[in-house]
Amino acid sequence: MEEENKLALFGGEKVINKPFVRYNPIANEEKSAAIKVIESGVLSKFLGAWSPDFFGGPKVQEFERLCESSFGVRHAVVVNSWTSGLIAAIGAIGVEPGDEVIVTPWTMCASATAILHWSAIPVFADIDPNTYCLDPKSIELNITPQTKAIMVVDIFGHSADMKSILNIAKKHNLKVISDTAQAPGAMYYGEYAGTLADIGGYSLNYHKHIHTGEGGILVTNSDLYADKLRLIRNHAEAVVETKGDKDLTNMVGYNFRLGEIECAIGIEQIKKLPSLIRKRQKVAERLTEGLTGLKGLQLPFVESQCTHVYYSYPMVIDIKLLNISKQKIAQALSAEGIEGVSTGYTNIHLLPMFQEKIAFGSKGFPWNSEFCKRDVDYSKGICPVAESLHDDSHISIGVCQYELENSEVDLIVNAFKKVWLNLDLLR
């Protein structure tokens, strides 16, 4: 073996010797905006009572109006986390205890636990092997008389097949919630991902494209849902009587309110979203150009008339063709200095909560309650594509975690090529 091609895993020189710079879109604009809010002394102006301040302070409302114009929707409602946003969205569509909501297993656990929060039942459908989003065919197979809604997750930065999913929802009279936490600004046939559902939205968590530390943006074109989202966000039960609302369905409110500092930062961040997305796309395009042709490596798929915003750069390794585990390949890539290498994504249905069916209390609520009409299956094997990807073949690079220059992208490509030259030694 030539010394320059000797794997770092076996004592050779690393391809990448300098740590990547962490992604940080916060600059002087955000700092100045935050300082102005601090100097004003108004860090929050929300009141949990029916008054002008029920809707929050000036920066909350400015941020919401800017989000509405940026994403082309009637209403934007900002919240203190995207988990809060998902809980509010499930409540706003009128989910009842025992209702079933179809969701992907290939996502962050909050997509499913937000359903449980309202004593509804998550039902897991499988994913498409190209986009990693919900497979419409699997959705159809999982619809029952108890199905109320579909929770669509636009994973890794690419939209799900919304045309097919919306057709299914219309056929079965179902609501659709779009969890577009990882794909703000992604386009789907000329419209923004997250805006085609009854309620959608985006995460403002620190490692997303734009961030305020924590936070979320709910979007909807429904006046009714927007009203309910704002009520659930801000102590609904204390407000509805004075407001004059008669429908008390799911009017259990919370403090899901986002502060003035975060919104001031968000205003500056949302202005940058197109340029920040383009930077991620250029990194991904350069990676694709460099990695194309490596045996047994499937690169990210982008549907026609859609765009990918690359929260991460997902790949699939053909382990049968290469006769090697993805874990060994990932170990070798990491040893060469590539940061952010991941070998899987949680299969939520296999978490202890769902395997044991224990969530609220110790007796199996809500699955063992009078509301749950059937024995919902969470056994391994119900989502074979997601399970195989997690166990065997999925690998990704978290490109949204770092600021990558062209030279660093080229080093990543060189590290891949070096590992591929040495696959025989890794077997």
Whether residue 211 lies inside any domain: the answer is: yes
pLDDT in tens, 33-61: 999 999 999 999 999 999 999 999 999 99
**Residues 119 and 182 occupy one common structural domain:** yes
**Residues 230 and 309 occupy one common structural domain:** no
Residue type present at position 377: D
- Total domains in the fold of the chain: 2
Domain boundary among 269, 296, 322: 269
**Residues 327 and 202 occupy one common structural domain:** no
**Residues 62 and 117 occupy one common structural domain:** yes
CA angle 362, 366, 368 (to 5 degrees): 75
Confidence check: pLDDT of 1 > 60: no
* DSSP bridge pairs for 253: none
Whether residue 382 lies inside any domain: the answer is: no
**Residues 144 and 182 occupy one common structural domain:** yes
Say what the pLDDT of residue 427 is: 85
In this prediction, residue 66 has a pLDDT band, given cuts at 50, 70 and 90, of very high
Whether residue 370 lies inside any domain: the answer is: no
Say what the pLDDT of residue 346 is: 82
pLDDT in tens, 144-158: 999 999 999 999 999
Confidence check: pLDDT of 273 > 70: yes
What would the mean pLDDT of 232-242 be, rounded to a whole number?
A: 97
Whether residue 7 lies inside any domain: the answer is: yes
| In the block, residue with structure tokens 């009141």 | 47
**Residues 11 and 37 occupy one common structural domain:** no
CA angle 301, 302, 303 (to 5 degrees): 115
Say what the pLDDT of residue 4 is: 72
Domain boundary among 216, 236, 269: 269
Phi then psi for residue 202, to 5 deg, are -135, 155
Whether residue 240 lies inside any domain: the answer is: yes
Which CATH number belongs to the domain containing residue 299 in this structure?
Answer: 3.90.1150.10
- Domain residues for the domain of 400 are 3-24+273-344+387-426
pLDDT in tens, 366-404: 999 999 999 999 999 999 999 999 999 999 998 879 999
Confidence check: pLDDT of 340 > 80: yes
Say what the pLDDT of residue 276 is: 96
**Residues 189 and 222 occupy one common structural domain:** yes
**Residues 224 and 302 occupy one common structural domain:** no
Confidence check: pLDDT of 3 > 80: no
Whether residue 69 lies inside any domain: the answer is: yes
Whether residue 227 lies inside any domain: the answer is: yes
Domain boundary among 250, 269, 288: 269
Which CATH number belongs to the domain containing residue 252 in this structure?
Answer: 3.40.640.10
Confidence check: pLDDT of 339 > 70: yes
**Residues 306 and 167 occupy one common structural domain:** no
Whether residue 353 lies inside any domain: the answer is: no
**Residues 250 and 319 occupy one common structural domain:** no
pLDDT in tens, 207-228: 899 999 999 999 999 999 999 9
Say what the pLDDT of residue 2 is: 63
**Residues 115 and 199 occupy one common structural domain:** yes
Question: Mean pLDDT, the chain, as a whole number?
Answer: 96
**Residues 162 and 72 occupy one common structural domain:** yes
